């Protein structure tokens, strides 16, 4: 082989392997980023990232069950919360394609038992786009506090909790409403004559071989199902119980990262729905919401991209799927605790995908404060807090987290430490009404009336609508 041939061969070799090198580099950067979020207690779950339709990274982080130390994996099954809505919207579009439902049809056309004064006004399109005006049932304190553990039938759920008076004229505003998607599930059952979960399996899950996805009945034995947790500055606790008949077609599905990738890829095809119907689904209406998806153009550093995305949150879990349809890229994050910084993590991964500068997560100062109080005492904790609070490069300070720590100490009868923590919050957020209210309450609990009055007055000065503070101040002054 002559010299020119050797040079040509070397160049060709570099051209062929460069994409692989770049992909490996991106995957490594994403893995380092996710591990940092995990180390800081801001993520615990499964991640799948694809580029150009090919999986770049799929991996589990932390534990699916903390008690038994069972690790999260790409096939671990998580409750999806509101990611369920895109599947409900797909079933509606399939029924529309077959002429069984009209998107401009009224609720009364399909649910004869629904209250007619509202049903005659609200269309299927209104339900799909959260423009119905029907109040969100998850804002109902009776349901969320008293009834959440009790199984409930679809008709009873719709009649008792999704039939309140309209908040606005249908079509005039956007207001996210789980009630609307529960009504859509009821319509699906009424039209098809089948249970929602059965039609979902027949029309979507089985054709796409999504064997790791289904309706999450708590009583069912589901292999590789993650446990759900709540996380506070003190660590993890098991989440509250919810009967999954309550979220129904608005939030009751489970799935895995690798199954949701099958779903993502199917949406580029016409295997389960036509191109025309997909275009309707992915057309943004008010507040950039389509049918079960948010659709908008965003800036990723210097790059402008169209994204199709939806997040989900339900007791013990939070989730997000973000699709970049122009490039066939996808980010799937499934987290088995109910807080976590998925938006920050998703944004960082997006920037890596598009070769933009990205930032590592910051550590919570409040968690460090809590540990130092327990191990070294309040005085050293306050000194450490004051030393770290100006380091905004590596740490973040959150008013709500500090307040929570203060109330944790109150509940542990450590009132002096609680007062010192609330005072740190006042120093950090001097223009917040709530921090003075909390400090006033702590002084009141200790019996220091003058200091309590002083702080309640400051709280009300900053927020004249602080009704609880006004009542507390009145009681103190009347004493």
Residue-wise pLDDT for 423-449, tens only, equals: 999 999 999 999 999 999 999 999 999
Domain boundary (353, 372, 394) is at 353
Residue 14 has pLDDT above 90, yes or no: no
Helix axes 415-428, 378-388, angle to 10 degrees: 10
Instruction: Quote the domain boundaries for residue 312.
Output: 78-225+233-353
DSSP for residue 205: I
Residues 266 and 375 in one domain: no
**Domain count along the chain:** 2
Segment 291-307 mean pLDDT: 96
Residues 306 and 423 in one domain: no
Domain boundary (353, 378, 411) is at 353
Residue 18 has pLDDT above 50, yes or no: no
Task: Give the residue from 54, 23, 81 showing the smallest Cα distance to 333.
Answer: 81
Segment 310-315 mean pLDDT: 96
Task: Give the residue from 250, 131, 278 showing the smallest Cα distance to 187.
Answer: 250
Helix (H, G, I), strand (E, B) or coil at 297: strand
Mean pLDDT computed over every residue of the chain: 93
- Residue 34: inside a domain: no
Domain boundary (285, 319, 353) is at 353
- Residue 21: inside a domain: no
Residues 434 and 344 in one domain: no
Residue 11 has pLDDT above 80, yes or no: no
- Residue 3: inside a domain: no
Quickly state the pLDDT bin for 378 (edges 50, 70, 90). Answer: very high
Quickly state the pLDDT bin for 20 (edges 50, 70, 90). Answer: very low
Residues 340 and 404 in one domain: no
- 187-224 pLDDT, tens digit each: 999 999 999 999 999 999 999 999 999 999 989 999 99
Residues 195 and 315 in one domain: yes
Residues 167 and 271 in one domain: yes
Q: Taking the CA atoms of 386, 390, 394 and 400 in sequence, report the sign of the dihedral they define.
A: positive
Q: What is the 3-state secondary structure (H, E, C) of 137-195?
A: HHHCHHHHHHHCCCCCCHHHHHHHHCCCCCCCCCCCCCCCCHHHHHHHHHHHHHHHCCC
Name the pTM for this structure: 0.87
User: Which pLDDT does position 142 carry in this prediction?
Assistant: 81
Please, what is the Cα angle at 148 between 146 and 151, to 5 degrees? 120
Residues 316 and 451 in one domain: no
Residue 3 has pLDDT above 90, yes or no: no
Kindly give the residue spans of alpha helices, DSSP state H, lying in 377-430. Answer: 378-388, 399-411, 415-428
Residues 87 and 193 in one domain: yes
- Residue 50: inside a domain: no
- Residue 29: inside a domain: no
Locate 343 and state its tokens.
């938006």
Residue with tokens 């109330």: 407
- Residue 66: inside a domain: no
264 Ramachandran zone, left/alpha/beta (phi>0; psi -120 to 50): alpha
Residue 284 has pLDDT above 70, yes or no: yes
Residue 279 has pLDDT above 60, yes or no: yes
CA atoms within 13 A on the CB side of 479: 12
* More confidently predicted of 94 and 18: 94
Q: Cβ neighbours of residue 161 under 8 Å, at least 6 residues apart?
A: 137, 140, 143, 179
Q: Are 333 and 45 in contact (CB under 8 A)?
A: yes
Residues 309 and 458 in one domain: no
Residues 349 and 371 in one domain: no
Residue with tokens 């008013």: 399
- Residue 258: inside a domain: yes
Pairing of strands 294-300, 253-255: unpaired
End-to-end CA distance of the chain: 101
Residues 383 and 445 in one domain: yes
Ordered strands of the 78-79 beta sheet: 78-79, 253-255, 214-215
* Domain CATH number, residue 420: 1.25.40.10
- Residue 415: inside a domain: yes
Residues 164 and 295 in one domain: yes
Range with the poorest average pLDDT among 69-83, 104-118, 132-146, 241-255:
132-146
* Domain CATH number, residue 107: 3.40.710.10
Quickly state the pLDDT bin for 146 (edges 50, 70, 90). Answer: confident
User: Which pLDDT does position 19 carry in this prediction?
Assistant: 46
């Amino acid at each position: 082989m002559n010299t020119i041939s050797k040079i040509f061969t070397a160049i060709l070799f570099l051209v062929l392997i460069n994409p692989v090198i770049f992909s490996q580099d991106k995957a490594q950067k994403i893995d380092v980023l996710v591990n940092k979020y995990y180390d800081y207690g801001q993520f615990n779950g499964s991640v799948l990232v694809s580029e150009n339709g090919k999986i770049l990274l799929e991996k589990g982080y932390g534990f699916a069950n903390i008690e038994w130390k069972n690790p999260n994996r790409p096939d671990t099954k998580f409750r999806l919360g509101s990611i369920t809505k895109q599947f409900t919207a797909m079933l509606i579009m399939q029924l529309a394609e077959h002429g069984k439902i009209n998107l401009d049809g009224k609720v009364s056309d399909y649910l004869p038992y629904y209250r007619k004064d509202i049903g005659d006004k609200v269309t299927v399109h209104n339900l799909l786009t959260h423009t119905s005006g029907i109040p969100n049932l998850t804002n109902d304190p009776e349901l969320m506090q008293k009834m959440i553990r009790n199984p409930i039938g679809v008709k009873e759920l719709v009649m008792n909790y999704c039939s309140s008076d309209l908040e606005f004229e249908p079509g005039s505003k956007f207001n996210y409403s789980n009630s609307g998607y529960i009504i859509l599930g009821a319509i699906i059952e009424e039209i098809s004559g089948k249970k929602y979960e059965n039609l979902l399996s027949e029309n979507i899950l089985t054709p796409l071989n999504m064997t790791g996805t289904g309706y999450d009945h708590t009583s069912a034995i589901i292999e590789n199902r993650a446990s759900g947790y709540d996380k506070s500055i003190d660590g993890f606790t098991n989440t509250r119980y919810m009967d999954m008949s309550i979220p129904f077609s608005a939030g009751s599905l489970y799935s895995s990262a690798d199954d949701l990738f099958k779903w993502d890829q199917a949406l580029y095809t016409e295997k389960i729905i036509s191109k025309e119907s997909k275009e309707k689904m992915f057309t943004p209406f008010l507040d950039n919401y389509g049918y079960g998806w948010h659709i908008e153009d965003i800036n990723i550093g210097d790059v402008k991209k169209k994204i199709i995305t939806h997040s989900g949150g339900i007791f013990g879990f939070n989730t997000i799927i973000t699709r970049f349809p122009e490039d066939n890229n996808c980010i799937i994050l499934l987290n088995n605790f109910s807080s976590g910084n998925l938006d920050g993590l998703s944004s960082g991964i997006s920037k890596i995908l598009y070769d933009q500068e990205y930032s590592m997560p910051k550590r919570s100062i409040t968690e460090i404060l809590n540990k130092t109080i327990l191990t070294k005492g309040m005085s050293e904790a306050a000194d450490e807090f004051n030393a770290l609070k100006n380091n905004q490069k590596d740490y973040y300070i959150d008013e709500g987290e500090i307040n929570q720590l203060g109330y944790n100490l109150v509940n542990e009868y450590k009132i002096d430490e609680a007062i010192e923590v609330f005072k740190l919050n006042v120093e950090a957020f001097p223009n917040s009404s709530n921090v003075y209210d909390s400090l006033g309450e702590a002084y009141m609990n200790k019996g220091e009336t003058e200091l309590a009055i002083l702080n309640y007055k400051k709280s009300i000065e900053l927020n004249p609508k602080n009704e609880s503070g006004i009542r507390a101040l009145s009681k103190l002054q009347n004493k």
